[in-house]
Amino acid sequence: MLLPTNPRYAYSSIAQRPDFSWPDGRRLAFYIALNVEQFAYGRGMGHTPHNASSPTDHRIFAWRDYGLRVGIWNIFDLLDRLGLSCCHLLNSAVCDNYPAIVQRIRERGEEVVGHGRTNAERQGDYFEEDERLLVRTAAERIEAAFGTRPYGWMGPWMSESAVTPDLLKEEGYRYLMDWPCDDQPVLFQTRSGPMINVPYPIELNDAPAILNRNHTAEQFATMMIDQFEAMLEISERYPVVCAISLHTFIFGSPFRLRQLERALSVIARYRDDPRVWFTSPGEIARHYGTVLEAQGQSLAGAPAKA
C-alpha cells in the first residue's frame, strides 16, 4: 500500500548534500522574524491568551491589538539597544490601519515579507482564483506602502492550499517560508518553475510555544539560546539557518521582554563572529540561488537582493 507523497520536493539527507558556505565563508545564517499581524474585530480566526476554544470577543481583540499599540515598540527599542535587526512578516491590512508602524519599518530599512491580508483568515480555505487575488493584492498594498513589493511569502497560520506555491511563483514571489522541513533552503517545484523554501521555525516560534504548549517566557528564552548555540556547533559540519519567530502581542509584554533581552543579548555577542551571518530570509534565498546555479541547477529569476 502506497502513501500519498509530497509533490514539491524530493527527499535529501543533509549529511549527503554538496557543501557550501554563506557569504564570506560563514556557516550559520541567523534571522529574527517579527510577525506584524492585524485581526478582525469580533469574528474570524486568531490566537487566544487562554482557552483556545473561546470565541473571539473584545478582550481577545484588545490583547492582540496591544501588540501593535505597545508590544512592537517595546521590541523595536530592544532590538535597537542590542544592535539587531529583524524581518517583518506583515499582514497587508496593517498598511491600511497602522501608519506609524509602516513608517517605523520604513525607517529601519528591513525586509518585509508578505503575510496575507489578515491573520483572521487562512488562505488554504480560498478557491484558487480568490487565493490568487489575495497574494496579488497583498503584494500591491505592501508595495504602495513601502515602495517595493515583497518577494517572500509566509501564509497566515502557515496555511496553504494545494496550489499555493504555484500561485506564488506565478505572481512574482521568489521564495516561501511555509514548510518547516529542513535547516537549509529547499528547492521547490511548481507548475511554473522552481522556487526556494527558506527555513522558518515551528518550534522556535513564540505563538505555539507560549500559547499552545504552555512554555514560560524563561523556558522559551533558554530554547532560543540553546538552539542558536547548538546550531552554531552543527554548522561546523553543514551550513544551516537558525531563525526565531516572535509575535508583537506575546513577547512585546514587558515581563516576557526581559526574557527576550536575556536570550538576544547572548546571541548579539556573536555579531562579529566570522562564523555567523546576521541576515534576512530574502538574502538567504538570494545567496542560495547563487549556490544552486554554481552547482549547475537552473533557477530562473533567482531572488534579487532584498
d(CA 84, CA 262) in angstroms, rounded, equals: 14
Instruction: Tell me the mean pLDDT in the region 254-273.
Output: 98
Q: Report residue 2's pLDDT band, with 50, 70 and 90 as the boundaries.
A: confident
pLDDT of 305 above 50: no
Output the CA angle 288-147-186, nearest 5 degrees: 20
Instruction: Tell me the mean pLDDT in the region 25-41.
Output: 96
d(CA 7, CA 80) in angstroms, rounded, equals: 42
Collapsed DSSP state (helix, strand, coil) of residue 101 = helix
Which grid cell is 132?
Answer: 490568487
pLDDT of 302 above 50: no
Torsion of CA 66, 67, 70, 74, to 10 degrees: 150
Domains in the chain, start-ordered, CATH in brackets? 19-40+54-294 (3.20.20.370)
Write down the pLDDT at residue 49.
Answer: 72
Instruction: Tell me the mean pLDDT in the region 251-276.
Output: 98
Q: Across 123-127, 182-186, 296-300, which has the greatest mean pLDDT?
A: 182-186
Instruction: Tell me the mean pLDDT in the region 224-253.
Output: 98
Amino acid at 185: P
Structural contact between residues 64 and 41, judged by C-beta atoms closer than 8 angstroms: no
